[in-house]
Amino acid sequence: MSSSATDSSFKKSTKPSVRYQPLVDRRWFIRALEILPGVTTWLLLVLPVVLSIFAPMVVVYGIIAFYLFWLLRAFRYSSYLILGYRTMGKVERTDWSERVDWLRHPDEYLAKAERRMRDLLRTHPSAASRWQSFGSNSQYRQRYLELHNQIQTLRDIQGRQTATLDPDSIYHVVIMAVYNEARDIIEPSVKALFDVDYPAKKIMLAIAYEERGPEETKQVARELADRYADRFGLCVAIEHPDGIAGEVIGKGGNITNAGRQLAEQLQGQGLDPERVVVTTFDSDHRASRQYFSVLTYLYCIDPNRSRKSFQPVPMFYNNIWDAPAPMRIIATNNSFWHLIETMRPHRLRNFSAHAQGLRALLDTDFWSVSTPVEDGHQYWRSWLAFDGDHQVVPMYTPVFQDAVLAETYPKTFVAQYKQLRRWAYGISDFPYVVRHCLINSRIGFWNKSVHVFRLLEGHIAWSTTALIVTFGAWLPLFLNERFSRQELAHQLPVIASNLQNIALVGLIIMVAISMISLPPRPARYRSSRRLFLLLQWVLVPVVSIAFSATAAIDAQTRLMLGKYLAFQVTPKSRRK
């Protein structure tokens, strides 16, 4: 069944509005909400075809307006991508271990920063002038701005020390969900936790495996937990029983089972849930070197930390050199899309690897066990349970993940399509969110309306934009013989083509950033392979339609028809 009908954990934490309670539980109402996104998508795809026959001028003006809107959005996304990439680079260059130390000794660091500022202004007084941002004195201006930001931040920490947590009291729990992956996938992810700039003894690792999974993976999980037990504060393998009533097959039940067991154990040891931060990883996820330092700092300074999730940037770069060209395009697009979203925190949602305080997880009964898309759904569960007082905080530091790669190309293409379809099935949150917005009277009307609109609009744009941009301008010309004799019918594709050419600026920016952000080339590949990674981008229109848009339409149509999607594990493979 759909999560919109089965996730009961929400009802324990919301404040119901009696007015709408009878309505939201009606099966016909739930089905109407499940049907709405698919119907909207199909109407947007079919109407231009019908109108091209009977009212071609409506299509002409509609397509031109759509292209202009799409072009403006493309430029805006490109600017966000540049800003996001620069911000991520700045965060990676920052010493976050030192930032964490600021929380321990803010007075000492503030005195040092103020002394350095005085020394700088004494030797280069013009550094305080904004007109020195260019030219030979720009380095002193940059240093002035860095010190100014440090001083402001340290004063802010000083002013709210009573609300700031001691970083030495923080423990990190990593729940790594595995199912059928081999040792060469799981073990490097475990070892990556040794390379972080954070004490391993303050990290607790739980390898969560499935009873229904293959025996080989179970054995790997138990062996790794035993082998690395002395490296972490705690390292355990936890089996998720099969066939638990009320659970659908998926990651949510696995990590929830592990989270509940760990919470019971940690609370039994006297640990304060507010001082435990839980990160969920898949078996291929590798944290950046500063991941835990960034997370510790952001968590400790936030006075509303129990109402926040913390989202790193998913970068599908682990095996980017090995994946086929279409998968590389999709992996890069997905990485950059989430980087763009970090520049719009009001739209940011949980995706894949994310972190949340144990206190918040206890308040929401961990993750949903009734949906195959538990990560994005966790945002909505938290937002609704906390009456709209929940935000996702961008961390601007990466967690490296695998691009889709199976044993053969056909299997890889099928696996990629299924992964995108599962992500697109996040539209199943729409009925859930609408229903519970109606019965939660403590969230403001406009707040609820904006959130519901963004959820629906994002998925509709996913399923329709590529098809409309590619084919929309040609429909009146080919479907209406009488209109095809007019000059406007022939000019519309030309106008659309010109606008597409202008939008290529955004694609060039994406290609440039993708090339400079690639991980080092494996020795098994010649330098000429970089040329193929550049030429692959001519496949963008095909990939956008054949994989992305089609998968989104498939997901929405399944929900519309009541053919609910089950969880499917994406196969993981590495070239050697």
How distant, in Å, are the alpha carbons of 111, 281, 384, 424, 514 from that of 479? Answer: 74, 50, 47, 31, 39
Q: What percent of the chain has pLDDT over 90?
A: 88
Strand 286-287 and strand 203-210: the pairing is unpaired
pLDDT band at 198; cut points 50, 70, 90: very high
Mean pLDDT, the chain, as a whole number? 93
Strand 391-400 and strand 286-287: the pairing is antiparallel
* DSSP string covering 433-475: HHHHHHHBTTS-HHHHHHHHHHHHHHHHHHHHHHHHHHHGGGH
pLDDT in tens, 54-76: 999 999 999 999 999 999 999 99
pLDDT at position 25 is: 85
Q: Please give the Cα distance from 198 to 178 (Å, whole number).
A: 24
| pLDDT of 569 over the 80 cut | yes
pLDDT at position 67 is: 95
Torsion angle (degrees, nearest 10) of CA 324, 417, 409, 510: -10
pLDDT in tens, 222-255: 999 999 999 999 999 999 999 999 899 999 999 9
pLDDT band at 115; cut points 50, 70, 90: very high
Q: What percent of the chain has pLDDT over 70?
A: 95
pLDDT at position 11 is: 46
| 96 CA to centre of own chain | 22
> Which among 250, 161, 282 is positioned nearest to 572, based on CA atoms?
282
pLDDT band at 21; cut points 50, 70, 90: confident
Q: Please give the Cα distance from 292 to 312 (Å, whole number).
A: 11
| pLDDT of 409 over the 50 cut | yes
pLDDT band at 13; cut points 50, 70, 90: very low
pLDDT band at 134; cut points 50, 70, 90: low
> Which among 166, 117, 173, 59 is positioned nearest to 479, based on CA atoms?
59
Mean pLDDT of 92-110: 96
Tokens linked to 171: 């423990």
Beta-strand ranges (E) seen in 29-179 are 171-177
Tokens linked to 248: 């659908």
pLDDT at position 162 is: 87
| pLDDT of 4 over the 90 cut | no
Q: Please give the Cα distance from 331 to 313 (Å, whole number).
A: 13
C-alpha neighbours within 13 Å on the C-beta side of residue 359: 15
Residue 123, beta-bridge partner list: none
Mean pLDDT of 258-262: 97
Phi, psi of 276 (to 5 degrees): -125, 125
Mean pLDDT of 184-207: 96
* DSSP string covering 344-375: -GGG----SSEEEEHHHHHHTTSS-SS-S-HH
pLDDT in tens, 301-336: 999 999 999 999 999 999 999 999 999 999 999 999
| pLDDT of 139 over the 90 cut | no
Mean pLDDT of 76-81: 97
| pLDDT of 348 over the 80 cut | yes
pLDDT winner (highest mean) among 131-140, 207-216, 478-487: 207-216
For 315, the enclosing helix (H) or strand (E) is strand 308-315
Largest CA distance in the chain: 80
Q: Is 540 exposed, middle or buried (0-12, 13-18, 19+ CB in 10 A)?
A: middle
pTM for the predicted model, two decimal places:
0.93
Tokens linked to 374: 């538990």
For 158, the enclosing helix (H) or strand (E) is helix 138-159
